Amino acid sequence: MRILGIESSCDDTACAVVEDGARILSSVVSSQDDLNQRFGGVVPEMACRAHIESILPVMQQALDDAGMRFGDVEAVAVTTTPGLIGALLIGVTAAKAASWALDVPLIAVNHLEAHLYGAWMSGPSPVLPAASLLVSGGHTCLYLTHGPLSHDLLGATVDDAAGEAFDKAASILKLSFPNGPAMAQAALGGDPNSVRLPRAWLDRDSLSFSFSGLKTAMLYHCLGQNASKRDIRDAVYTPRFVADAAAGFQEAVVDVLVRKTRAALQKTGAAGLILGGGVGCNIVLRERLRRECEELGVKASLTSPELCRDNAAIIAGLAHHMYEAGRVAPLSVEAAP
């Protein structure tokens, strides 16, 4: 079954065609990095306008790359939640129109579940039950996963997401978009131990996260206490300062993510580990998780980097399992932020 997937939950407009939940026939992503660069981040209204301009050309490109015509699409899947409401609406509206016009089923996909499904599309099926670490721009969560459609929440961030923290730190260091990769790149040349930033562990045994204090500590480290937006604009750093600060910051985030994931594995006795979401591209995080899994005798299923960042292949892939489970959406389905 060939499913057309549509994703527009934040700043990427993406369409893909996936066969039987596994074979990616095409995957097209139109990013808004140039807009984000110009406006210093994602501006929801601008993002929505860009989605409107991109959605049809991106959909057509996905069909062309798959060697298909509209009439060959057997179902349409779309992210309906979570995300920026205006941005979600563009994808949902396009998906409803396609589903109605082609008279094929519509499948409403949860973006977070789709990120975790990336692990299934990246290699052999994960060993279950698995502890799943979802790290994106908007979410940082740990789950106990029993299958592609079954995840019990173990813990989540109480404030900022890990990706959001990377993005803020990058803007303090005046790095260019896309932020996460720019931080990881800058950190390559730095000494992770030269800047010791705080780690928030919360309560003993807690599997929740907090990154807002780390962000503030980064600001103070770079510009002193009481720093303002203007100070960031006027700041001039040496390349060494940027590299060390980026490395110290990355180390602090990775440290917390890895230790809490290890705690989740031990607490649940899970036999597998799943990693998904944009921050999952981070090489230091991936290496540390692999090492932990080796030590604990757990099978690591890390979503491949190209499927970690927002894309529609994971949407169309997961939708196959939803369809098989009879989870088809009515045309009245609504987007939810």
Per CB under 5 A, the list member of 54, 136, 145, 210 interacting with Zn ion is 136
Within 10 angstroms of residue 239's Cβ, the number of other Cβ atoms is 10
Interface segment toward Zn ion; rule CB under 5 A; list 44-52, 94-102, 144-152, 305-313:
305-313
Positions in 7-36 near ligand KG4 (CB under 6 A): 10
Residue 7 touches which of ligand KG4, Zn ion, none (Cβ within 5-8 Å per kind)? none
| Nearest Cα to Cα of residue 124 among 319, 330, 299 | 299
Total residues found in the chain within this entry: 337
How far is residue 77's CA from residue 193's CA, in Å, rounded to a whole number?
A: 45
How far is residue 315's CA from residue 78's CA, in Å, rounded to a whole number?
A: 7
* Pairing label, strands 75-81, 272-276: unpaired
Residue 51 touches which of Zn ion, ligand KG4, none (Cβ within 5-8 Å per kind)? none
What is the sign of the dihedral through the CA atoms of 260, 266, 269 and 275? positive
Per CB under 6 A, the list member of 26, 110, 282, 303 interacting with ligand KG4 is 282
Phi/psi for 272 (5° steps) reads -135, 165
Residue 281 touches which of Zn ion, ligand KG4, none (Cβ within 5-8 Å per kind)? ligand KG4
SS3 337: coil
CB 298 within 8 A of CB 268: no
Continuous H helices in 173-282: 179-188, 212-223, 229-234, 239-268
166 binds ligand KG4 (CB under 6 A): yes
Angle at 201 between CA 157 and CA 119, to 5 degrees: 50
Q: Is the CB of 95 or the CB of 242 nearer to Zn ion? A: 95
Residue 205 Cβ, how far from ligand KG4 at the closest point, in Å? 27
Per CB under 6 A, the list member of 273, 278, 289, 316 interacting with ligand KG4 is 278
Residue 117 Cβ, how far from Zn ion at the closest point, in Å? 12
Concatenate the DSSP letters of all residues of 191-221 into one string: -TTTS-------STT---B--HHHHHHHHHH
Per CB under 6 A, the list member of 141, 246, 258, 281 interacting with ligand KG4 is 281
Residue 135 Cβ, how far from ligand KG4 at the closest point, in Å? 7
Per CB under 5 A, the list member of 310, 311, 318, 319 interacting with Zn ion is 310
For ligand KG4, what does the binding mask look like between residues 77 and 116, x meaning CB under 6 A? ----------------------------------------
| Nearest Cα to Cα of residue 130 among 112, 117, 114 | 117
Residue 167 touches which of ligand KG4, Zn ion, none (Cβ within 5-8 Å per kind)? ligand KG4
Interface segment toward ligand KG4; rule CB under 6 A; list 120-128, 145-153, 162-170, 220-228:
162-170
Per CB under 6 A, the list member of 163, 192, 248, 317 interacting with ligand KG4 is 163
CB 16 within 8 A of CB 311: yes
Residue 67 Cβ, how far from Zn ion at the closest point, in Å? 28
328 class by beta-carbon count within 10 Å (0-12 exposed, 13-18 middle, 19+ buried): middle
Per CB under 6 A, the list member of 136, 145, 261, 268 interacting with ligand KG4 is 136
For ligand KG4, what does the binding mask look like between residues 172 and 201, x meaning CB under 6 A? -------xxx-xx-----------------
- The two three-digit tokens of residue 199, written as one number: 């780690």
Binding site for Zn ion (CB under 5 A): 136, 310
Binding site for ligand KG4 (CB under 6 A): 10, 136-138, 163-164, 166-167, 179-181, 183-184, 277-279, 281-282, 309-310
